[in-house]
Amino acid sequence: MLSLTCPSVDLSQGGCLRLRRARPLWRSRSARSIGARCIVSTAQDDVRSGGVATSMKPAVSSSGSIQVSSLLEVVSGDIKRLNENLKALIGAENPVLVSAAEQIFGAGGKRLRPALVFLVSRATAQIAGLKELTIQHQRLAEIIEMIHTASLIHDDVIDDSGIRRGKETVHQIYGTRVAVLAGDFMFAQSSWYLANLENIEVIKLISQVIKDFASGEIKQASSLFNCDATLEDYLLKSYYKTASLVAASSKSASIFSRVDTSIGERMYEFGKNLGLSFQVVDDILDFTQSTEQLGKPACSDLSKGILTAPVIFALEKEPTLREFINSEFSEDGSFDTAIELIHQSGGLSRAQELAKQKAEMAIECLECLPESEFRNSLEGIVNYNLQRID
Taking the mean position of all CA atoms in its chain, how far away is CA 231? 20
Report if residue 88 touches a copy of itself, rule: CB under 8 A.
no
Question: According to DSSP H, which parts of 327-372 are helical?
Answer: 334-344, 347-365
Interacting residues of 327 by C-beta distance below 8 A, sequence separation 6+: 334
Nearest approach in angstroms of CB 183 to a copy of itself is: 8
When binding is defined by CB under 8 A, the residue of 10, 73, 160, 316 that contacts a copy of itself is: 160
188 or 363: CB nearest a copy of itself? 188
**DSSP code of 94?**
-
Report if residue 233 touches a copy of itself, rule: CB under 8 A.
no
Report if residue 4 touches a copy of itself, rule: CB under 8 A.
no
Report if residue 58 touches a copy of itself, rule: CB under 8 A.
no
When binding is defined by CB under 8 A, the residue of 103, 169, 189, 250 that contacts a copy of itself is: 189
- Distances in Å between the alpha carbon of 337 and those of 26, 222, 296, 301, 343? 27, 25, 21, 16, 10
193 or 270: CB nearest a copy of itself? 193
Report if residue 147 touches a copy of itself, rule: CB under 8 A.
no
**DSSP code of 26?**
S
Does residue 311 contact residue 273 with C-beta atoms inside 8 Å? no
- Per CB under 8 A, the segment of 118-126, 197-205, 229-237, 263-271 that binds a copy of itself is 197-205
Report if residue 181 touches a copy of itself, rule: CB under 8 A.
yes
| CA separation for the pair 280, 146 (Å, rounded) | 24
- Per CB under 8 A, the segment of 40-48, 137-145, 196-204, 302-310 that binds a copy of itself is 196-204
Nearest approach in angstroms of CB 241 to a copy of itself is: 13
Question: According to DSSP H, which parts of the chain are helical?
Answer: 68-73, 76-91, 95-105, 112-128, 135-159, 170-195, 200-221, 231-238, 244-256, 261-288, 291-294, 300-303, 309-317, 319-326, 334-344, 347-365, 373-387
56 or 147: CB nearest a copy of itself? 147
Does residue 145 contact residue 114 with C-beta atoms inside 8 Å? yes
| CA separation for the pair 288, 282 (Å, rounded) | 10
Lay out the site mask for a copy of itself across 235-274 (x = CB under 8 A, - = otherwise).
----------------------------------------
Phi, psi dihedrals of residue 279, rounded to the nearest 5°: -65, -45
Report if residue 32 touches a copy of itself, rule: CB under 8 A.
no
Report if residue 187 touches a copy of itself, rule: CB under 8 A.
yes
Handedness of CA 233, 235, 237, 240 (dihedral sign): negative
Nearest approach in angstroms of CB 48 to a copy of itself is: 28
**3 state SS of 114:** helix
Report if residue 192 touches a copy of itself, rule: CB under 8 A.
yes
173 or 214: CB nearest a copy of itself? 214
**3 state SS of 167:** strand
Report if residue 303 touches a copy of itself, rule: CB under 8 A.
no
Nearest approach in angstroms of CB 130 to a copy of itself is: 24
Nearest approach in angstroms of CB 107 to a copy of itself is: 21
Does residue 90 contact residue 145 with C-beta atoms inside 8 Å? no
Nearest approach in angstroms of CB 207 to a copy of itself is: 4
34 or 181: CB nearest a copy of itself? 181
Residues that bind a copy of itself (CB under 8 A): 13-14, 93-97, 154, 157-158, 160, 176-177, 180-181, 184-185, 187-189, 191-192, 194-196, 198, 200, 203-204, 207-208, 210-211, 213-215, 217-219, 221-222
